[in-house]
Chains A and B, each alone.
Chain A
């Protein structure tokens, strides 16, 4: 009897290891795709939230939030925050025309809700000048 005939037919250790490695690679790819899709859906989520918040805040300025020059900030309970900068609008190096007791403000609102990149909305607003003391 020769040696080969004598050996029992079966898998060798190397074969099993190779098959395990291949299986592992397949599973890892699967998990990678899943986590990527999860992350991107979370990104879209936070992006929509940031956009809705930014739109609503822009509507509030000059209504229930006073339009006053300055910088204000806030934070969200679940991470991220926003900053609102109101400054007198400047046109070609000079303050924009303040006509009939009105002045123009540049309003810049940045909303940051990770993992989405920050959303910035910019607008010009007109407000009555504070009453001048005679």
Chain B
């Protein structure tokens, strides 16, 4: 009770509210605060938008990548399954066909496999031109974006070669490939994996393809296996 008047006296005197009579407006401090909040929100939104866009784009890239991979795998599987098989034009009719259908084509066709490429004879899929036997080569061509898995082919009717080699890129962004061949060479008794294959009398039964692909910053490793159905390699 006694102190009340004195405490009241100690309180600072509130200054007169400015602009009560003048025009109302925003002060500089208010403007700065509003601007900083706005810019903070804009930065956050921009960051979010940027992230979202990147996720969206990478999702699309991935989808394209998966599609290409799946298609390349299907195409190679189909092609290799009938590798070593000859068209009626090439196969000598008669006794050989009865004695063993696989012997004649393989003698003529040949199959050369190395760790980084392979050469084989197969029927050209009709999507790529008129049907016929072609000599195919699967290899990796390096370029500045990693490399391409390239399939090139040359028409090979009898001894005569017609036209220049044609080629198609099966996969892009291929860092490295490695091939291995399963089967037994004519001088072996049991089937095993080989780093290279050069046997004029037989095809490998199974081919392994190790791929390392770059997808953006990511490295994808794949191991794929392909059957050679016309192999006479009894495994």
Q: Could you list which residues of chain A lie within 8 angstroms of chain B, going by C-beta atoms?
A: 8-9, 27, 30, 34, 37-38, 40-41, 44-45, 48, 51-52, 55-57, 59-60, 62-64
In the complex, the answer to whether B55 meets A34 with C-beta atoms within 8 Å is yes
In the complex, the answer to whether A45 meets B48 with C-beta atoms within 8 Å is no
Cβ contacts under 8 Å, A64 to chain B: 182, 191, 193, 205-206, 225, 235
CB distance from B114 to the nearest CB of A (A): 19
Known A8-B24, A52-B70, A63-B205; judge A34-B56 contact (CB<8 A): yes
Known A41-B62, A44-B63; judge A52-B69 contact (CB<8 A): yes
Give complex CA distance A120, B195 in Å: 32
Cβ contact of B226, chosen from A27, A34, A59, cutoff 8 A? A59
Cβ contacts under 8 Å, A27 to chain B: 48
Known A27-B48, A44-B66, A64-B191; judge A55-B77 contact (CB<8 A): yes
Main secondary structure of the interface of A (DSSP, over half): helix
Q: Which 8 A-B pairs have the closest CB atoms?
A: A41-B59, A56-B225, A63-B206, A59-B227, A48-B66, A59-B225, A63-B205, A60-B225
Give complex CA distance A38, B58 in Å: 9
Interface residues as binary, B192-235 with A (CB distance below 8 Å gives 1, 0 otherwise) = 01000000000001100000000000000011111100000001
Q: How large is the interface on B (under 10, 10 to 19, 20 to 34, 35 or more residues)?
A: 20 to 34
B116 interfacial by beta-carbon distance below 8 Å = no
B165 interfacial by beta-carbon distance below 8 Å = no
CB distance from B55 to the nearest CB of A (A): 6
Cβ contacts under 8 Å, B235 to chain A: 62-64
Cβ contacts under 8 Å, B70 to chain A: 48, 51-52
Show 28 residue pairs from A and B whose CB-CB distance is below 8 angstroms, ordered by the A residue: A9-B24, A34-B52, A34-B56, A37-B55, A38-B55, A41-B58, A41-B62, A44-B62, A44-B66, A48-B66, A48-B70, A51-B70, A52-B73, A52-B224, A55-B73, A55-B224, A56-B223, A59-B77, A59-B225, A59-B226, A59-B227, A62-B235, A63-B182, A63-B235, A64-B182, A64-B205, A64-B225, A64-B235
Give complex CA distance A62, B235 in Å: 7
In the complex, the answer to whether B52 meets A59 with C-beta atoms within 8 Å is no
CB distance from B96 to the nearest CB of A (A): 22
